[in-house]
Structure 1
Amino acid sequence: MKGYLSFEQVVAMPKYSIKLAYKSLLPVNARQPWATVIWDRLGVPKHRFITWLAMLDRLNTKEKLMKIGVTDDNLCLLCGTVVENQNHLFFSCEYSSKCWDNVSKWLGIAPATSDLHKLIHWVQKRKISKFRKGVIITGILCTVYHIWKEINNALWNAQIRRIDKVCDTIQKTIHNRISIVLPRAVSTRDRSWFLALVTG
């Protein structure tokens, strides 16, 4: 934040309001190219929020917590071998990488990257229907959310679920969410693809 408004800025406002003053104090940020993809209505709201935080590098990973003196250990709670940060969690960690591999195979995709930002960009550039892109993005959002949930489960309950159990939860969540918010204007081909995905 800038911290203050000049007299000229206040006088130039058509009508003074707290909202306008607050907005003028905020820094001007460039719109992120991935924002519309993350906030697509097919995704579960809490999954979108956690992924948005991950994309902005705002999740409180152990690396960040160690820097501010909250913990003296910065190793990943899932694999226990590497520093826990955004890049490691999504999806360089052995645990999260195996989860994502299972989910991506289930979705029928084989991206050449495991980096979250590059993965979102890869989906955006694919020459497939909007619905299929939405389902794949929902898969990414759901995987990010459940990896973060497992981190918290490991931290607070000292438990880590088996990868196959996490993947089953992810698949069921994707199926349930898409079934609830399924757009009307989905082609027969895409409906068949989704049905094969959830029944196969």
Structure 2
Amino acid sequence: MLTPGRGCTSPLLDAAQTGFPTGADEFSSEDRLGLDMLLLELASQRLANFHLDPEREDLPLWRWSPDGCYSAKSAYGAFFAGQVRAPISDEIWLSRAPYSCKFFAWLAAKNRCWTADRLQRRGLPRPPACPLCDQEPESLQHLLLGCVVSREVWFWALRCWGKENGSQRRTPSLEWWSSRTCPAAHRRDMWTAIILVFWCIWRHRNDVVFNGVAASQFTIRDRISVEFDSWRLAKLFRGTLFAFLDPSLLPWAVAARRVGVRGELLPLVDSINFDFFGFLLCD
């Protein structure tokens, strides 16, 4: 497509940029004639300083590769030249989680899961409060990150992963989710593990809503333990990040109950940050 060069001050170009309607059906015959004249003028401007040399053969150049030669890879990349990468896309799609879990995490990042706030906006039946804590209105951010039950599950998971943060601040303490702080060798394992926790919290929420299961953080822990062991056997965790975990200790929820971890979690719930994902969960 021809584009005007620098210094082009054509009145037709100004009219095209400011005055022409955007709908194709709204163009009058005068508008179409003006557009035709504009294209001819632009073409003449682009070709004004171009001189053909009859002694030289034409040489095609491919602008999408550094050497000017066509390749299938560069052609495929040209399809996405204008793309805008969404935040956290690498953390989701480059993880080793099963595709069903990746799709859920992507929908969660776009706030497209059917929680009570989304149902309310569409006038559909909804739970009166969060199915897990029964204390606050349900939203996706609250369910996965802000709910008391979810916070205890997260703190338990951090302890098991050796990522416990002893800070008593009420603001960020889960910065290790970011690629900037997690070592490159461990990123995909960490992303996979985080998606696993999100997935298990969401599945337990659905069991509570649709199957009448009693809400329990220990049920979520048991599910995470079993799924984590299965994912590790399936080689979804390949690095050394979780190598210190002994499979014989699974499920971790049983061990946690034996040592009384639940009592230790309650005073520290407010010290955990769950804002690292919240900026994606827009209303």
Answer yes or no: same fold by TM over 0.5: yes
Pairing partner for 1:48 from 92, 97, 102: 102
> Pairwise mapping of residues 161-176 of structure 1 onto structure 2 (< 5 A)?
161-176=215-230
**CA deviation vs aligned residue, 1:143-182 (integer Å, no higher than 9, x gap):** 1111111111111112135322321321331232133235
Structure 1 vs Structure 2: percent identity of aligned residues? 21
1:68 is matched with 122
* Aligned mates of 1:42, 1:114 — CA distance in 2: 31
> Pairwise mapping of residues 6-155 of structure 1 onto structure 2 (< 5 A)?
30-71=84-125, 73-110=127-164, 122-130=177-185, 132-155=186-209
2:243 is matched with 195
CA separation of 1:51/1:127 partners in 2, compared to 1, >3 Å: closer, same or farther?
closer
User: Which has a greater percent of helix?
Assistant: 1
Could you tell me how far 1:78 is from its partner in structure 2? 0.8
* Aligned mates of 1:183, 1:88 — CA distance in 2: 28
CA separation of 1:41/1:134 partners in 2, compared to 1, >3 Å: closer, same or farther?
closer
* Aligned mates of 1:182, 1:153 — CA distance in 2: 25
1:180 is matched with 234
Amino acid at match of 2:179: Q
CA separation of 1:40/1:198 partners in 2, compared to 1, >3 Å: closer, same or farther?
farther
Structure 1 segments of 4 or more deviating over 4 A? 4-8, 111-115, 118-121
Contact (CA 8 Å) 2:129, 2:138: kept in 1 or not? yes
CA separation of 1:44/1:114 partners in 2, compared to 1, >3 Å: closer, same or farther?
farther
The root-mean-square deviation of aligned C-alpha atoms, in Å, is 3.3
When normalised by structure 1's length, the TM-score is 0.70
* Aligned mates of 2:126, 2:204 — CA distance in 1: 20
| Gapped regions of structure 1 (runs ≥ 5) | 9-23
* Aligned mates of 1:198, 1:133 — CA distance in 2: 21
| Gapped regions of structure 2 (runs ≥ 5) | 1-21, 26-31, 33-78, 250-283
* Aligned mates of 2:233, 2:95 — CA distance in 1: 13
Who wins on radius of gyration, i.e. which is larger? Answer: 2
Amino acid at match of 1:76: C
